[in-house]
Amino acid sequence: MHQFEESVYQLIVETSTNLPGDVRRAVNSGRALENQGTRAGLALSTITQNINMAEEQISPICQDTGMPTFVVHTPVGVNQIELKKVIKSAIQRATKDGKLRPNSVDSLTGENSGDNLGPGTPVIHFEQWEEDYIDMRLILKGGGCENKNIQYSLPAELEGLGRAGRDLDGIRKCILHAVYQAQGQGCSAGFIGVGIGGDRTTGYELAKQQLFREVDDVNPIAELDQLERYIMEAGNQLGIGTMGFGGEVTLLGCKVGVANRLPASFFVSVAYNCWAFRRQGVKMDPSTGEIGGWLYPAGSEVAMEEFPQKTEADAAGEAQAQPSEGREIVLQTPISEEKIRSLRVGDVVTIKGEIHTGRDALHKYLMDHDAPVDLNGSVIYHCGPVMLKNDQGWRVMAAGPTTSIREEPYQGDIIKKFGIRAVIGKGGMGPRTLAALQEHGGVYLNAIGGAAQYYAKCLKKVNGVDFMEFGIPEAMWHLQAEDFQAIVTMDSHGNSLHAGVEKESLEKLATFKEAVFK
């Protein structure tokens, strides 16, 4: 079974490190619609660089490699028990090599298995078919976008859209609401898979199955093809934009499937996926285990198009025609309150000095305990990095931001308790954190979600680590940053870009209240 394991390992590495061609084309199309000088334009430029870096370095595009989910079709007679063992072995190897982050956590104890194996991990769906080859597909869907999945039970009352009935127009409203509620927390611009019908379990499965379709395919059901096209147009009019910064591109793909349902139940299930849409598949020879072909267009065949370099004359003309959205400011840690209070929403900051990672386990711990290092004037980075250790010590392999809103119950208290001046994450935070930033003198800095290679390059040295018992993603890593760039989206004056975009997008959502499909 050695060749089978090698083939599965190659599939995992390719999925984690190289976006397929159809996804790349969608990102390129989105980038072409944004102005280079805007926050959304800056985010898309960073995303483009990150995709190229991940491919060149064969490293994870995003540090959150999600819950590995395999869909495997096998000819009659293939031993699925042995194939499952091979998949698990390849998962262990890819985790050890830093191609996957150890993401399997005991739900009762919080203990990380360290190798991505455990009850329910990875997810493997087997189905027999009458073809003479194995069709194995893998999707790596991170927790940030997984948390923005949503399921509706019709009829329902939806914010901004009113009543959604048990008909095609009610389905339309549910999907638009799903795009709205994700905001920037799922690393927009994103892709959505929609499942109409089924029960609560199969509805979500159907939704995720849609993510295995190619971005540019055509739905064979005419009504659903019309619906997909409508959602793409309407969703991009909500103004949420890349990372929730506002802009022209909120949605890069929409795929809808339908299944029969019980008379008493009518579910609309939406699987949200970030721009780092990592899915790939292979055809395998059932007798040798060799790869006979890749199922999605190769990423290397589609170049990522970066914004053209500006001349000084171009930059001057653009600045005169469109004022800059913010200043560019260097922050050296530790940071003073005076420096922080000089910042405003829209400013682009470059951080130099030591920063500290902190996620769910650390925030819960710090509520009742002292910190292992002095955090006064410091920066907390919501990040669960991919780390590898060699003879020279620890190395940062991937280190993009995680979704910050999970820390809302803790963040304000921790800012005040330890004198933290800046929090880096993605998707913004809520009113309690905003009040603490205003009272104490702090800012929230939005890094570009999914840009794990771009930010890993900015983290030059691992100064130390605490709480390894929490597992690598949840440990507190002390990292030396250089030229780490992020955008002020919540400041010490009570301003929040996230609250503003959400309010404006809700107003735009309400314009789609009237029935379209009858």
The DSSP annotation for 55-99 comes to HHHT--SSS-----EEEEEEETT--HHHHHHHHHHHHHHHHHTTS
* 365 vs 467: CA distance, rounded Å: 10
Helix H segments across 333-477? 337-341, 360-366, 408-418, 431-440, 452-456
Same domain, 340 and 478: yes
- Report the candidate in 481, 470, 459 with the shortest Cα–Cα distance to residue 394: 459
Task: Tell whether 260 and 400 lie within a shared domain.
Answer: no
Find out whether 123 and 70 touch, Cβ atoms under 8 Å. yes
Q: How many distinct structural domains can be found in the chain?
A: 2
Using the CB atoms, write b or e for 456-465: b if 16+ within 10 Å.
bbbbeebeeb
CB atoms within 10 A of CB 97: 14
DSSP, collapsed to helix, strand or coil, labels residue 452 as helix
356 and 418 co-located in one domain: yes
pLDDT given at position 507: 97
Report percent pLDDT > 70 for the chain.
96
Give me the residue label for tokens 């995720």. 208
Residue 486 domain-assigned? yes
Examine residue 64 and state whether it is found in any structural domain, yes or no: no
Residues of the chain with pLDDT under 70: 307-326, 518
Which residue, of 236, 255, 273, is where some domain finishes? 273
Same domain, 245 and 372: no
Domain match, 372 and 466 both: yes
What is the rounded CA–CA span in Å between residue 253 and residue 211? 9
Q: Which of 155, 189, 213, 168 has the alpha carbon at shortest distance from 20?
A: 213
Question: Is residue 15 included in any domain, yes or no?
Answer: no
Residues 336 and 252 in one domain: no
Would you say 496 and 490 are in contact if contact means Cβ atoms under 8 Å apart? yes
Q: Which of 235, 252, 273 is the last residue of a domain?
A: 273
In 3D space, the residue among 405, 403, 401 whose CA is nearest the CA of residue 430 turns out to be 405
d(CA 166, CA 153): 9
**Cα separation of the two ends of the chain:** 55
In a 13 Å sphere around the CA of 449, the CA atoms on its Cβ side amount to 32
376: CATH: 3.20.130.10
What is the span of the domain harbouring residue 236?
143-273
Distance CA 16, CA 37 (A): 30
At which residue do the structure tokens 């597992």 appear?
Answer: 471
Distance between CA 310 and CA 161 in Å, rounded? 42
HSE, side-chain direction, 13 A CA sphere, residue 300: 6
Classify residue 235: in a domain, yes or no: yes
Report in angstroms the alpha-carbon separations of 322 from 30, 38, 248, 277, 497. Answer: 21, 10, 16, 32, 19
Q: Which pLDDT belongs to residue 313?
A: 46
Distance from C-alpha of 211 to C-alpha of 193, rounded to nearest angstrom: 5
Residues 337 and 416 in one domain: yes
State whether 347 and 483 are in the same domain: yes
Angle CA 444–447–451, to nearest 5 = 165
Neighbours of 391 (CB within 10 A): 4
Q: Is the dihedral of CA 412, 414, 418, 421 positive or negative?
A: negative
Asked if the structure places residue 336 within a domain, the reply is yes
For residue 176, what pLDDT is reported?
A: 98
Q: Assess whether 201 and 334 both reside in one domain.
A: no
Among 234, 255, 273, the domain boundary falls at: 273
* 8 Å CB contact between 62 and 398: yes
Phi, psi of 318 (to 5 degrees): -70, -40
- Please indicate, yes or no, if residue 43 is contained in any of the structural domains: no
Task: Give yes or no: residues 410 and 471 share one domain.
Answer: yes
| Parallel/antiparallel/unpaired status of strands 134-140 and 278-284 | antiparallel
264 and 338 in a single domain? The answer is no
Is residue 169 situated within a structural domain? yes
pLDDT tens sequence across 377-420: 999 999 999 999 988 899 999 999 999 999 999 999 999 999 99
Closest CA to 453 of 62, 27, 19, 15: 62
Same structural domain, 267 and 333:
no
Residue 503 tokens, joined: 């309010």
Q: Single out the residue of 450, 507, 474 nearest to residue 141, CA to CA.
A: 450
- On whether residue 488 sits in a domain, the answer given is yes
Nearest 10 degrees: Cα torsion 485, 487, 493, 499:
-150
What phi, psi does 269 have (nearest 5°)? -110, 135
Residue 272: half-sphere exposure toward Cβ, Cα within 13 Å:
29
SS3 of residue 251 by DSSP: strand
Q: Shortest CA distance to 21 belongs to which of 49, 55, 45, 72? A: 55
pTM of the model: 0.93
Task: Please check whether residue 433 is in contact with residue 412, taking contact to mean a CB–CB distance below 8 angstroms.
Answer: yes
- What share of residues in the chain are helix, strand, coil (percent, to 5)? 35, 25, 40
Helix ranges (DSSP H) in 133-271: 143-146, 168-182, 200-210, 222-235
